[in-house]
Amino acid sequence: MTMTDTAADRLGSASSGNALELRGVTKLFGALAALTDINLTVRPGERRAVLGSNGAGKTTLFNCVTGDFLPTNGSIRLFGEDVTSFPPQERIRRGLRRTYQISLLFGGLSVIDNVYLACRGVSRGRFSMLRPRRNDTLMARAAELIEAVHMTPLKDTMVRNLAYGQQRQLEIALALSGAPRLILFDEPAAGLSPTERSELIAILMGLPGHIGYIIIEHDMDVALRVATSVSMMHNGRIFKEGSPEEIENDPEVQELYLGGGHG
Ligand SMILES: Nc1ncnc2c1ncn2[C@@H]1O[C@H](COP(=O)(O)OP(=O)(O)OP(=O)(O)O)[C@@H](O)[C@H]1O
Ligand SMILES: [Mg+2]
């Protein structure tokens, strides 16, 4: 099933000034079509969940948006600008961020030092042997971001001593450094305990309203709570879009995802 005109209008594809616009994006890996003719519009500040079974193409979609992969066909606009052939760094400069499943944290530094370094825009390679020389404005900013991810009591804890879920929270703080306008979260709830999941939901819901995000999530409880719109993927295609309520009540979706013990 494709999106109706009404749904497209409601989801903002008719308006200009979108955060993200994918038109006809296809990604082939040899003979395998990981993405086929993807059309996706995300408005500034929108919170979109992307749901779908394993291998549906969700992470490939993220990789095309970040520039880690070039699409085989189609175009990608970021905040009105055609970035289809831009390298990842140019997209980051325009306010795009992502979180990875693999941790990119400095285990031997404290929580605050990790966030401070992200605020300074220091890359892993350039940093390696240096101790940061502190700048008060950036330290204050780092403290704010740590508060945004509910980690103030842990700010002086060494990252390697954090629990897994706390490390994931810290990664969100890193994604918030700089001036992000659109963040891509790839399965942020994976491996989290029920308590950590609730914390994650609170953190995402508490992000400043101008920051939009796309969240890939297998946990429907998390996805439908933190999203304002949902895209359903299967076999490299988006087959349905709607509000969390529409998706939750959709018979086809219920059969696919909410039945059979996945609820
Ligand atoms: N770099 C790659 N080279 C070849 N095939 C790939 C590559 N990345 C992904 N694929 C294939 O593309 C398809 C979509 O994969 P993708 O990782 O995007 O799925 P996904 O929806 O993120 O799945 P999951 O829920 O398991 O993370 C899969 O068939 C996968 O094997
Ligand atoms: Mg994936």
Contact 21, 40 (CB under 8 A): yes
Domain count, the chain: 2
Most confident of 67-81, 92-106, 211-225, 241-255: 67-81
Choice among 83-97, 101-115, 143-157 with the minimum mean pLDDT = 101-115
Instruction: Tell me whether residue 234 is in a domain.
Output: yes
Q: Which residues surround ligand 2, an ion (CB under 5 A)?
A: 58-59
| Residue ID of nearest Cα to ligand 1 atom 28 | 55
- CATH number of the domain that residue 235 is part of: 3.40.50.300
**Closest by CA position to 247, among listed 37, 20, 60, 52:** 52
Domain shared by 140 and 191, yes or no: no
Which of 150, 178, 206 is the last residue in one of the domains? 178
**Tens digit of each residue's pLDDT (9 = 90 or more) over 164-192:** 999 999 999 999 998 899 999 999 999 99
Where residue 26 falls (left for φ over 0; alpha for ψ -120 to 50; beta otherwise) is: beta
H/E stretch holding 251: helix 251-253
102 or 27: which carries more pLDDT confidence? Answer: 27
Which of 144, 178, 212 is the last residue in one of the domains? 178
Domain shared by 167 and 115, yes or no: yes
Torsion of CA 8, 14, 19, 23, to 10 degrees: 70
Q: What is the pLDDT of residue 2?
A: 45
60: Cβ below 6 Å to ligand 1?
A: yes
Q: What is the pLDDT of residue 124?
A: 43
Give the ranges where 51-163 is alpha helix by DSSP (H): 58-66, 88-93, 111-120, 124-127, 136-148
56: Cβ below 6 Å to ligand 1?
A: yes
pTM for this structure? 0.87
| Residue ID of nearest Cα to ligand 1 atom 3 | 29
Q: What is the pLDDT of residue 68?
A: 96
**Radius of gyration for the chain, computed over Cα atoms and rounded to the nearest angstrom:** 19
Domain shared by 190 and 243, yes or no: yes
Q: What is the pLDDT of residue 135?
A: 78
- In whole angstroms, give the CA distance from residue 102 to residue 123: 16
Quote the ligand 2 centre to 55 CA distance (angstroms).
7
Q: What is the pLDDT of residue 259?
A: 58
- In whole angstroms, give the CA distance from residue 4 to residue 16: 19
| Residue ID of nearest Cα to ligand 1 atom 10 | 34
Q: What is the pLDDT of residue 220?
A: 87
pLDDT level of residue 263 (50, 70, 90 thresholds): very low
- In whole angstroms, give the CA distance from residue 48 to residue 227: 5
pLDDT level of residue 131 (50, 70, 90 thresholds): low
Q: What is the pLDDT of residue 227?
A: 97
| Residue ID of nearest Cα to ligand 1 atom 6 | 29
List the domain range (segments joined by +) for residue 218.
1-95+179-263
Among the bound ligands, name the one nearest to the CA of residue 60: 1
Contact 88, 67 (CB under 8 A): yes
55: Cβ below 6 Å to ligand 1?
A: yes
